Structure 1
Amino acid sequence: MNKAIVTGHSKGLGAGITAALLAEGFNVLGLSRSALPGFEAGLEQVALDLGDADALAAWLDGGELESFLEGAERALLINNAGLVEPIAPLGRQGAAAIARAVTVNISAALVLADAFAAVSTHLSDRRLAHISSGAGRNAYTGWSVYCATKAALDQHANGVREDALPGMKIESLAPGVLDTGMQSTIRGSSEEDFALRAQFVELKETGALADPGAVGAKIVAHMIGEKFGTETVTDIRSV
């Protein structure tokens, strides 16, 4: 039996990944603040705010992740949940927004990766994908926090690869520029906070944003394929 855990599964790219996994016959455990409507068979959903470190720790202590993976022959973890905010230059970002971004984008992903590795030692095929970003590899004005958090995922994947855990394959995978709620947030920012705002508005107006369902399907096809893990820091547009 194939099983997968997806964070931020209820919207955007996470919903696309979840739909593709279900189509491939995976049982999916979705972790998100909101539920994904329209799916039932094969999908379990947990209402969990990944910005609440104590809530995540309590959920993991409850043993639900280990129970979900019982009977699995192959297991995937896709750390998809992420926040682009705060969008602002240094000095206007705010303590609470910075802390939440670090918690969701880095801490939750690393904590779940550790827990996944700990409860999947019996599997000979276990795969972990961090959904990263080109922003982790290229600097953008107003995005210093987002850039830093995505770069952290890239380096975490590099470090895990050095651990050479039995049966574990890992990639930090950039999905490209997608037509999601995150893009709406970006377009809703001010020119003062994000000098490149007009470029992202143009991407939407010219239809240059990729469909999250199609990209989600491509990510799943790559994850279950033979080449996953060959390179650690990757971009779905080039695999």
Structure 2
Amino acid sequence: MTTSITRAIVTGHTRGVGAALAEQLLSRDIAVLGLSRSRNIALAQRFPQTLEEIEVDLADPSRVAQWLTGDALSRFVEGAHSVLLFNNAGTVQPVGPIETQDAGAIASAVGLNVATPLMLASAVAKVSVAASDRRIAHISSGAARNAYPGWSIYCATKAALDHHARAVVLDANRALRICSVAPGVIDTDMQAEIRGTGKEQFPLRERFEELKRNGQLSTPAACAAQLIDFVLSDAFGETPVADIRDLTQRS
């Protein structure tokens, strides 16, 4: 893929895997449109010509929909032969048994984890019709494929991304590839949040504490490199659902 005519959209580009994705894409001379509630000041200073940022609450689908009525996205991808979308932003909250979950927190999680990624995927497919190569990467989770106590909302919303990718593949759009990718367990703020959760809310907390103690967490930088390499590869889109750890083992 020729990077000089490639554009990438990254959600949640201000921290964790999202920040690593944006940094590494920019380092590969791929212009990035970052969508988040705040800006990444450090990246903006390093890449003032190739990083564009939009401040929007991705957990509020109505605000995302309103932004999509403008022309910022179409202007960003104009002239690109390849357009990449990394639906990275997400939340593990609310954590806990179903009877403890707050209605507002559920709505926010569904907005951030499901509604916004699906809206952006549709928007990219529409505005980049001139691009001969469009690639959509949903950042999923092992929780999409395995149920965990206390994570009913997180499991359900990530599973929605997996099934969305499976259904989009059936549309047989030759100019669009999509895959919902589980990135493995990464040392991010979300992991710290998980380890800080009470056992009554998340009985498997000790498992994640052990992963941290044993140095079994991947770094955001390593994960981002694997994700980008996969998305840019010919193999991307061959299957609608993948796990980055399986891909690494095969290589």
Which residue number corresponds to residue 122 of structure 2? 114
With a CA cutoff of 8 Å and minimum separation of 6, indicate the structure with the bigger relative contact order: 1
State the alpha-carbon separation in 2 of the partners of residues 66 and 184 from structure 1: 37
Deviations 1:175-218 (A, max 9, x none): 00000011011011101000011111111122111101111011
1:26-45 mapped onto 2 (5 Å cutoff)? 26-40=30-44, 41=47, 42-45=50-53
State the alpha-carbon separation in 1 of the partners of residues 98 and 12 from structure 2: 27
**Does residue 229 of structure 1 match 2:237?**
yes
State the alpha-carbon separation in 1 of the partners of residues 75 and 172 from structure 2: 25
When structure 1 is superposed on structure 2, of 126-135 and 159-168 the one drifting more is 159-168
Letter in 2 for 1:142: G
Give the unaligned 5+ runs of structure 2. none
Q: TM-score, normalised by structure 1?
A: 0.98
Which residue number corresponds to residue 59 of structure 1? 67
Q: Which of 217, 222, 235 is equivalent to 2:225?
A: 217
State the alpha-carbon separation in 2 of the partners of residues 121 and 67 from structure 1: 13
1:1-239 mapped onto 2 (5 Å cutoff)? 1-40=5-44, 41=47, 42-239=50-247
Deviation at 1:7, TM superposition (A): 0.4
Corresponding residue SS for 1:101: helix
Q: Percent identity?
A: 50
Deviation at 1:122, TM superposition (A): 1.2
Deviation at 1:65, TM superposition (A): 0.5
Contact 2:81 2:130 in 1 (8 A): no
Contact 2:188 2:220 in 1 (8 A): yes
Corresponding residue SS for 1:91: helix
State the alpha-carbon separation in 2 of the partners of residues 102 and 58 from structure 1: 18
Deviation at 1:26, TM superposition (A): 0.5
Corresponding residue SS for 2:235: coil
State the alpha-carbon separation in 2 of the partners of residues 204 and 153 from structure 1: 27
Deviations 1:87-139 (A, max 9, x none): 10110011011111000000000011111111111111110000000000000
Corresponding residue SS for 2:184: coil
Letter in 2 for 1:37: I
State the alpha-carbon separation in 1 of the partners of residues 121 and 216 from structure 2: 33
State the alpha-carbon separation in 2 of the partners of residues 103 and 82 from structure 1: 9
Letter in 2 for 1:82: G
Corresponding residue SS for 1:38: helix
Give the unaligned 5+ runs of structure 1. none
List, as ranges, runs of 4+ consecutive aligned residues in structure 1 with deviation greater than 4 Å: none
Deviation at 1:233, TM superposition (A): 0.4
Deviation at 1:37, TM superposition (A): 2.7
Letter in 2 for 1:22: L
Q: TM-score, normalised by structure 2?
A: 0.93
Letter in 1 for 2:36: S
When structure 1 is superposed on structure 2, of 48-57 and 77-86 the one drifting more is 48-57
Deviation at 1:79, TM superposition (A): 0.3
Corresponding residue SS for 1:122: coil
